[in-house]
Structure 1
Amino acid sequence: MRFLIAYFFLFLSGNILSQNIGVINDKDGYTNIRKESTVNSNIIGVILEGQTFQYSPSENKNWYKLNFNHLEGFIHSSRVSDIKSLGKSYKFSDNQIDKNLPKYEQPTIDSNRNKKFTRQIDGKPITYFLNHTSIDIYSKMYYQGIYQISDSEITFNLLDSVTTDNIDTRKFYLFNFSNILQESDGALSEAIGSYCLNYLKKYPLEVNLLKTKLYQDNSYEKFISFSAFEIYFSENPYEELDNLFNDIMYNYSEYEQELLFIKKDIFTILKTELKNN
């Protein structure tokens, strides 16, 4: 019996020691994780400089298969440095995701979900935000593809972040918010409308940013639909819509024409829903 236990631990330790552990080697400070071993495959996540991951050879010799915090995909071999080859002098960056990581129940990650990644936001490289000390770790994890949204307090906090007063980080939160708009379904889709309205009330002039090419093509339409859906369930939807924009225009009277277009878009969807139901 003691022999079997000893053999088991030798076998286990041998497997652990034989695993390839790598870090990225990329001048941009991050590398994309692809769904398949080709540059034309969908990006499903990113790895930052200093973050470690397990990797192994794939059928395509130019690509490695990797496992990074429950996220499985492919990374180009030219972007990988093995830990063993770096020696003891290698120093990890402070941005390792698994460093002091809060505990949460990791859902199954769907690599087919409709999500967008970007090289920069508002003229700043994406690594600026992913290393920003004022941005919470779950927002970074969501962007990187290693946290999946659900009907949970963590996700609701991600949504609430878009109304931050910090103008330096708000564009990053809005980018995440636009991706969540695409992915929301079930119970989460029923809750997201209130966060859309909160953002509209606080930063009405920024809503049109969702029309720009930085965000997915239908981000603005999704935002308008969720907003209309939330108003639909009020006691008097048309009155609720009028009161909402009266309050907004009181503070932004010089932008009345621009805001009326947003109101009209919400009204159009609201009218259709009320007519059909």
Structure 2
Amino acid sequence: MKKISTFLIGLIFTCSYSQIAIIKDKDGYTNVRKSSLKDTKIIYKLKENEAFWYNYDDYEEKKNWIQVFIPKDKFCVDYSEDMYLKGYIHKSRLLPIEYLKNSHQKEVQLHYEFKGFNRTNHIDDGNGYLVNKIDGRKIWGTDGNYPKREIKKANLIVNNTRINIHKVLYNDLYECNENIKVYKNKDSYFIKQQHGDGSGAYELIWVLTEKNGITQRLVQDISK
């Protein structure tokens, strides 16, 4: 179980725990409803292999309707009070990614090239000791301290095909490692990583296909 960050508790989420899931529906989509009543307004349609967060407490308590949190920005680049669409889907349509089959080790290879963090190469709002934003963006991997290292380049290969990861999708990610878990559903891959340490820990999910490249990036604070 993963605790949600303080800002998400206060501004976005109303649940205590969240996990990543996709849908399982023969129609290829699932209706997201405004509330946990069957006939309430449909506010969104989750498509096959579209990743989202769900209320772990609802799932554990075996409720018929599970609250879900769908990032409006599929790459979680934006950081605001209005980042997520909240709704409900029926429990029969929910599939946690941990229940997917593991990808073969040679199918997906992700390698980061690192360099030491140099403040003079960035614009930040800090004082040399503590910082909230770097280059105008929230930073992942620290709890207010300056990071020690950053990603210089991200190399992703899927079935011998090189997949481009634009620097916008990793220049807010700090204190990373290369430990990965890879899940697969049809032609989609889900790379799960945990970075940072202690109060700066966060979870990162890359969603991709060999044909279309990166289709989603989900990031959430999992610090305790």
Highest Rg: 1 or 2?
Answer: 1
TM-score by length of 1: 0.28
Q: Which has the higher contact order (CA 8 A, sep 6+)?
A: 2
TM-score by length of 2: 0.34
- In terms of fraction of residues, the more strand-rich structure is 2
